[in-house]
Structure 1
Amino acid sequence: MDTALHEQRRGPRLPAALHGSHVHPASGRVELKDVRTVLLDIEGTTTPIEFVHQILFPYARAHMREFLERHAADPEVRADLARLRAEHAAESDAPPPPWRDDVASVVAYVEWLMDRDRKSTGLKSLQGKIWEAGYRAGELRGQVYPDVPRAFARWASQGRDIAIFSSGSAQAQRCLFAHSTAGDLSPFIRAYFDTTTGPKTAPESYRRIAAALERPLREVLFVSDVAAELDAARLAGMRSALSVRGPEAGGPPLDHPVIHGLDETC
């Protein structure tokens, strides 16, 4: 990851002591006292960024045309196409490829969205369906960091819930954890949330998640590698922890407690 993107994900620096998560002074661990639900991002938190960008995204791109040719008449796919058509009509960026209600133009628009890393709900839903087929065929396995299954088992033994909030569709999330390199981790996960809940940088999204989980906001810890997402969760009232899986550029940020793996929670 280049320095500019790294800094964008990390965000500005403010004192962590202002924000609600408890940091053990000797070890830097984040204490889970009074935390009943751990809400996790995927990319850079449970799963290497490289897996998403170098395996999942290219797989979806390579199989998009074939998938649409086979499944364009399926009701769920038609709903995705309707979302994409509406998004295309509302585009305010540089003009996207023209929309003509055929597979070629849909593929062109989808690739245009992917090139811009857009968090399009229609795109994410289509990607999830393609990945599900890949997982079921044995062509994909969801990569997770080695500490993930340990943390899931530990939190479950402590009576804590685990939930996921990712820009990838809930379907894609389920498949990744059900077909992971550590086996089927889905029994540990209570709920999955995606962009249908709202943007990850909007405080209201986290309020909706807490309501769906029937948890007070203060009893939920959100872990992500993107500072802007943590800012939104914190503004809503959740606790926060910044996942830093690689070398830190320019020293550790102070706006959120930092963990270098899920084992650094206690």
Structure 2
Amino acid sequence: MQSIRLDIEGTTTPVDFVYKVLFPYARQHVKEFLSQFYGTEEVQVDIRQLRNEQALDQQQKLTPPVWQDDSIDSRVESITTYVHWLMDQDRKSTGLKSLQGKIWERGYRSGQLRGQVYADVPPAFRRWSEQKKGIDIFSSGSVLAQKLLFQHTPSGDLTRFLRRYFDTATGPKMEPESYGRIARALGQAPSEILFISDVIAELDAATSAGMETRLCVRPGSPFPQSHSHPVIHTFDEISPSIM
């Protein structure tokens, strides 16, 4: 096994941190952020992405909030309402995730946010790096959000151990082709990659692409009843024999 690919939520990082800290922070600050940075090109890219997604939601009769274009103020209000709507559905929207990452960046830089990882994660990163294993992240959160989380942990900046980051721009996490794209991007055969996640559908997709997998069941997580993946509870259980 030449490299290890990791999910974040429920794998390296407690689910509660995502849902009780990061998501509420983004929700609380989205309107303020849009009002302040509306004119920047980076934010305009996200807005165009969100506008296209809202139009598609309308076409699919998903009843998204109405998008108002009468003025900048009404547009900001519309985007804020639509972002809240997407978050309420836990939508893995590329535009949403990109915008959230930018909002969180301000929180991390100001010290209002601090990344969280399980206690076994930093020593595992060091151990795998010493074994010359590439460590990559594949998360529905944007690449920016991934980097920020691992930069600002109580154990310091962990990004020095990480090789590459992949988000939903690569493709949905429950589709085998997404894992094939990542393997090709790294110039590796899928069989040389171990993917660790707490989501069975993601592991099934990785297996279909030819990767080895481990189901990560952290404390407090329900134990899935029907699956075919070896189970671990901490990264300490990754056997040296597969490395």
Normalising by structure 1, report the TM-score.
0.85
Residue matched to 2:197: 224
In structure 1, the partner of 2:84 is: 111
Q: 1:100 aligns with which of 55, 68, 72?
A: 68
Distance 1:98 1:189 in 2: 41
Name the CA distance, whole Å, in 1 between partners of 2:191 and 2:223.
31
Q: What are the superposed Cα offsets for residues 184-210 of structure 1, whole Å, 9 maximum, x if unpaired?
A: 000000000000000000101000101
Q: Give CA-to-partner distance per residue, 1:131-162, whole Å, 9 cap, x none.
A: 01110111111100000001000000001000
Q: Would you tell me which structure has more helix in proportion to its own residues? A: 2
For the residue of structure 1 that corresponds to 2:112, the secondary structure is coil
Matched residue SS, 2:124: helix
CA RMSD of aligned residues (A): 1.2
Aligned to 1:55: 21
- State the 4+ residue runs in structure 1 displaced beyond 3 angstroms: 247-254
The answer on 1:244 being equivalent to 2:212 is: no
Give runs of aligned pairs for residues 41-190 of structure 1, distance below 5 A. Answer: 41-91=7-57, 92-101=60-69, 102-190=75-163
The more displaced of 245-254 and 124-133 is 245-254
Q: What's 2:72 paired with?
A: none
Q: Distance in 1 between matches of 2:150 and 2:162?
A: 9
Taking structure 1 as reference, are residues 93 and 231 closer, same or farther at Cα in structure 2, changes over 3 Å only?
farther
Shift of residue 182, structure 1, vs aligned partner: 1.5
Gaps of 5+ in 1: 1-34
Letter in 2 for 1:100: Q
> Percent identity among equivalent residues?
57
- Aligned residue for 1:90, secondary structure, equals helix
Greater relative contact order (CA < 8 Å, ≥ 6 in sequence): 1
Contact 2:11/2:197 (8 A) holds in 1: yes
Q: Contact conserved, 1:224 with 1:230, CA < 8 A, in 2?
A: yes
Give yes or no for contact 2:135–2:163 (8 Å, CA) kept in 1.
Answer: yes
Question: In structure 2, do the counterparts of structure 1 residues 247 and 128 end up closer, same or farther at CA, with 3 Å as the change threshold?
Answer: closer
Superimposed CA distance per residue, residues 101-121 of structure 1 (whole angstroms, 9 cap, x where no aligned partner): 310010000000000000000
Shift of 1:213: 1.2
Give the conservation status (yes or no) of the 8 Å contact 2:217–2:223: no
Unaligned 5+ segments in structure 2 are: 70-74
Amino acid at match of 1:71: F
Look up the equivalent residue of 1:68 and give its one-letter code.
L
**1:198-237 superposed matches below 5 A:** 198-237=171-210
- Does the CA-based 8 Å contact 1:252-1:258 persist in structure 2? no
User: Which position in structure 2 is the counterpart of 1:21?
Assistant: none
State whether residues 174 and 186 of structure 1, in contact with CA within 8 Å, keep that contact through their aligned partners in structure 2. yes
Query: Which of 36, 39, 42 is residue 5 of structure 2 equivalent to?
Result: 39
**Against the structure 1 CA distance between its residues 64 and 159, is the aligned structure 2 distance closer, same or farther, given a 3 Å change threshold?**
same
Cα distance in 1, alignment partners of residues 56 and 226 from structure 2: 37
Q: Is the 8 A contact 1:223 1:230 kept in 2?
A: yes
Q: 1:261 aligns with which of 234, 237, 241?
A: 234
Tell me the TM-score normalised to structure 2 length: 0.93
Inter-partner Cα distance in structure 1 for 2:66 and 2:224: 45
Q: Distance in 1 between matches of 2:51 and 2:222?
A: 40
Write out per-residue CA displacement over residues 42-91 of structure 1, whole angstroms, 9 at most, x where no aligned residue: 00000000000000000000000000001011101000000000000001
